[in-house]
Structure 1
Amino acid sequence: MYIYTEMENMQVQPRYKESEHFTHFWKYGNGKQLIDFSGAVVNFENFNKFSHFYYHVDTLGDEVVKEVYFTKKYSEASREIENYIRNGVSEIDDVPESVKNLFRQTQKIPDWLDYDLIKSGAELCMRSNLDSLISLRDYCLIGGYDYAYLSKPLIVTEALKKGAVKRLSETLDFWVNVTRYDALEIHKKGYEFAIKTRLIHSYARLSIKKHYKNWDTENWGEPINSWDMMATYVGFSLVFMHSLHKFGNTFSEAEEKGLFHLWKYVGYLLGIPEELLPDNKKQATENFYLWTSIQPPSDDGSRLLAHSLLNESLENPILKYQFQRKNLRYLHICCTWFLLDDEVCKRLHLPKVPFRNAFPYAKKFINKIYDNTVSRENRIKKGNKDQMKVLDDYLKITQNSNFH
């Protein structure tokens, strides 16, 4: 259940459904591949069922931010919230009512939750090893920048000034911590990351509403609205899985169900309305189709974000030598051209590079051999170890006060 906001009475239309970028994507590009991959039947019959979520926000999170974060120092408020997350909140605790309301929801285990399915989804994320991280970066994140309105909150909160290394580190920290074994049990680390991320979204949304007077709600929707959140988490499930598929990875029915179940629960903890959270790739593709019809293609701001991410390898000191960084950037460009369709890459003004299919096809070939020669259990262990190593490297770099 959620509370309707006044803005939800506004009607958004599928305004770009006849546009070239929309029709090309769904007839010839990655959208067509997603339809073939998922068996989706796309049309606009359910558009009005979901469109009002463009003006819907997480009011529970927003009230906590107003009552806790906006009334004391940020560090003090963060410590207070951490205490609530780790120790729980009961009806008799002497805490703000907004905090009780939030934790009443997050501490309630939904009837549909299946921890065995979540485990299967986590194992798929881990056993896919570095393919998972490449997919997140070179398909999910950079592909998301092709949607101009989706990128607006990042632009207006000056994410470019923070830098792509820091932004990537934060995304990686979140993703790794919600996709480990038992991470999403109440009070565990993944649960904590979900609640903190939810409140960061509320903090950013309220700050945008307060300080950015030119926010165009009618066209852009509410900042970090529920429909945009659905699209983001379809990125972590559907788009992520499609990327693994493109790299030659295979997955069982339980793993596929598990991945969607994992992100459905993360979405629930983040305050996304349950009716927006898909159970499978067919639902996800059909929902994503509707959402893309309200999004224009990339503009100058979103292209800047894409190029900032593309050049992250050059400014990241994890690799010591410049030639190593240039080579890593080249490999990421190759993967991006391989995973995204050409029209999207051209719109984002991604550089063309020679032999761009060599590395992705080699990776695809090696994956097939690796999957047939190494046990699933060992792939999970190695994937977890390698992903934790990458995260540790990023955290060491970004937590160093000398790194800007």
Structure 2
Amino acid sequence: MKINSLQPHFKDSQHFKDFWEKGNGKQLTELSGAEVNFKEFDKFSSYFYHVDEIGDEVVKDVYFTKKFHEASREIENYIRNGVLENHNVPESVKKLFAQTQKIPDWLDYDLLKSGAELCMRSSLDSLISLRDYCLIGGYDYAYLNKPLIATEALKKGAVKRLSETLNFWVNVTRYNALEIHKKGYEFAIKTRLIHSYARLSIKKHYKGWDTENWGEPINSWDMMATYIGFSLVFLHSLKKLGNIISIEEEKGLFHLWKYVGYLLGIPENLLPNDKKQATEYFYLWTSVQPPSDKDSVLLAHSLLNESLENPILKYKFQRKNLRYLHICCTWFLLDDEVCKRLEIPNVSNKKMFPYTKWMINCIYDKLISRQARINRGNKDQMKVLNDYLNITQNSNFH
């Protein structure tokens, strides 16, 4: 297979046109002022077959040569204490930490702080956006989901997967979290190595992997799209929910996820600086993604039913009501065509909760100070995270 053989196969497909000509893609283009076209397709498309080779080498040298818990403990020690040149460690490990501990010239700590503050002050709207737009919307891209299916993520269950995503997101979006040896930095490195471990396992054990059409497992271009979900799509969702976002906060959000992407080993030229770049990059990537398939529907329904399975809420009627509210938000945030493809249930009065939330946010932003909202949002998000961790770390929960 020639790497340069990749084409924007789905650019003339109905799902692509609907998204970019009348759906959320059109809104993203208007929001960002992006100029979407295929002039730079070849510049980006090769990354469909590109992976984080540094991370892969670390997994081969450390995780594949000893017991998993021993390897994890060794890596944790390097993350928290650093790697000295005279340490007897593999060259791949030295290379990984030389890259992640080198502060890029473009890094701006004030912007990191602004991005973290936006994530915190958006409180539960952040979590709604991540779940009901970023995550479930991502399931509509059939090829993007293939690593989840190959690693049997459905067997692990949506509660566990949601807990892991939440744990990562919260820990990389707190004050000073991404400083070397701090908790957010640790989560970024561990997540990077989890990606490499999964990729190498898929290549070894999943014989049906279709590299030509699906790209390499967890490839750099898919990683770019995933982290545009945490920046551009997240920003769009917050605005849809009535949040007023300052220019500084918006810049900070993109800067924060650019640095997280850098730590995760995504090539720097794939990391957008702003919403215009992000939309233009995202447009190109969506042209190689077909719409939902049966696996997409299974993943979406697993996430929707997570509310029923999760024992955080004590009573069944509470869980059913929470599922209903998430369904309402999904219909509000995603295009109708996407919801239909994912077979999201069409519930009654589905606009009532999102519109009420939108009105409350418009009032709340004007009445409550920014710092008070940051403090309250951080507290609310930490409570949700701790509730999930208490559930999933309980050995009796499956």
The interval holding the TM-score normalised by the smaller chain is: over 0.9
**Do structure 1's residue 321 and structure 2's residue 315 form an aligned pair?**
yes
Residue of structure 1 equivalent to 2:67: 73
1:164-218 per-position Cα deviation (integer Å, ceiling 9, x unaligned): 0000000000000000000000000000000000000000000000000110000
Determine the C-alpha separation between the residues in 1 that align with 2:2 and 2:309. Answer: 42
**Do structure 1's residue 308 and structure 2's residue 305 form an aligned pair?**
no
Please show how residues 109-128 of structure 1 align to structure 2 within 5 Å: 109-128=103-122
Residue of structure 2 equivalent to 1:287: 281
Determine the C-alpha separation between the residues in 2 that align with 1:356 and 1:286. Answer: 32
Residue of structure 1 equivalent to 2:167: 173
Residue of structure 2 equivalent to 1:182: 176
**Measured at CA, do residues 11 and 91 of structure 1 come closer, stay the same or move farther in structure 2, by a change above 3 Å?**
farther
Structure 2 length-normalised TM: 0.99
Gaps of 5+ in 1: 1-6
Match of 2:27 among 24, 33, 47: 33
Asked if the contact 2:4/2:42 (under 8 Å) is kept, the reply is no
Query: Equivalent residue of 2:64, what SS?
Result: helix
Amino acid at match of 2:389: L
Asked if the contact 1:8/1:54 (under 8 Å) is kept, the reply is no
Determine the C-alpha separation between the residues in 1 that align with 2:302 and 2:5. Answer: 34
Asked if the contact 1:11/1:52 (under 8 Å) is kept, the reply is no
Residue of structure 1 equivalent to 2:207: 213
Over 2 Å off, 4+ runs: 7-11
**Do structure 1's residue 240 and structure 2's residue 247 form an aligned pair?**
no
Pairwise CA distance, 1:94: 1.6
Amino acid at match of 2:293: D
Amino acid at match of 1:251: I
Match of 1:372 among 366, 370, 374: 366
Asked if the contact 1:41/1:286 (under 8 Å) is kept, the reply is yes
Asked if the contact 1:8/1:55 (under 8 Å) is kept, the reply is no
Residue of structure 2 equivalent to 1:334: 328
Pairwise CA distance, 1:92: 2.2
Query: Equivalent residue of 1:318, what SS?
Result: coil
Residue of structure 2 equivalent to 1:95: 89
**Do structure 1's residue 135 and structure 2's residue 129 form an aligned pair?**
yes
Q: RMSD in angstroms over aligned alpha carbons?
A: 0.7
Pairwise CA distance, 1:10: 4.0
Asked if the contact 2:150/2:202 (under 8 Å) is kept, the reply is yes
**Do structure 1's residue 362 and structure 2's residue 350 form an aligned pair?**
no
Amino acid at match of 2:261: G
Determine the C-alpha separation between the residues in 2 that align with 1:216 and 1:400. Answer: 37
1:239-290 per-position Cα deviation (integer Å, ceiling 9, x unaligned): 0000000001011111000000000000000000000000000000000000
**Do structure 1's residue 196 and structure 2's residue 196 form an aligned pair?**
no
Residue of structure 2 equivalent to 1:226: 220
**Do structure 1's residue 155 and structure 2's residue 138 form an aligned pair?**
no
Query: Equivalent residue of 2:279, what SS?
Result: helix
Amino acid at match of 1:161: K
Determine the C-alpha separation between the residues in 2 that align with 1:379 and 1:168. Answer: 24
Determine the C-alpha separation between the residues in 2 that align with 1:10 and 1:37. Answer: 32
1:44-84 per-position Cα deviation (integer Å, ceiling 9, x unaligned): 00101100000000000000000000000000000000000
Determine the C-alpha separation between the residues in 2 that align with 1:91 and 1:216. Answer: 40
Residue of structure 2 equivalent to 1:266: 260
Determine the C-alpha separation between the residues in 2 that align with 1:67 and 1:54. Answer: 25
Asked if the contact 1:243/1:339 (under 8 Å) is kept, the reply is yes
1:87-136 per-position Cα deviation (integer Å, ceiling 9, x unaligned): 01122222111100111100100000001100000000000000000000
Asked if the contact 1:264/1:279 (under 8 Å) is kept, the reply is yes
Asked if the contact 2:54/2:96 (under 8 Å) is kept, the reply is yes
Asked if the contact 1:318/1:397 (under 8 Å) is kept, the reply is yes
Query: Equivalent residue of 2:250, what SS?
Result: helix
Residue of structure 2 equivalent to 1:4: none
Asked if the contact 2:139/2:145 (under 8 Å) is kept, the reply is yes
Asked if the contact 2:150/2:206 (under 8 Å) is kept, the reply is yes
Residue of structure 2 equivalent to 1:85: 79
Residue of structure 2 equivalent to 1:392: 386
Determine the C-alpha separation between the residues in 1 that align with 2:2 and 2:246. Answer: 39
**Measured at CA, do residues 8 and 94 of structure 1 come closer, stay the same or move farther in structure 2, by a change above 3 Å?**
farther
**Measured at CA, do residues 8 and 89 of structure 1 come closer, stay the same or move farther in structure 2, by a change above 3 Å?**
farther
1:128-176 per-position Cα deviation (integer Å, ceiling 9, x unaligned): 0000000000000000000000000000100000000000000000000
Asked if the contact 1:8/1:56 (under 8 Å) is kept, the reply is no
Asked if the contact 1:8/1:53 (under 8 Å) is kept, the reply is no
How many matched pairs?
Answer: 398
Amino acid at match of 1:97: E
Determine the C-alpha separation between the residues in 2 that align with 1:319 and 1:333. Answer: 17
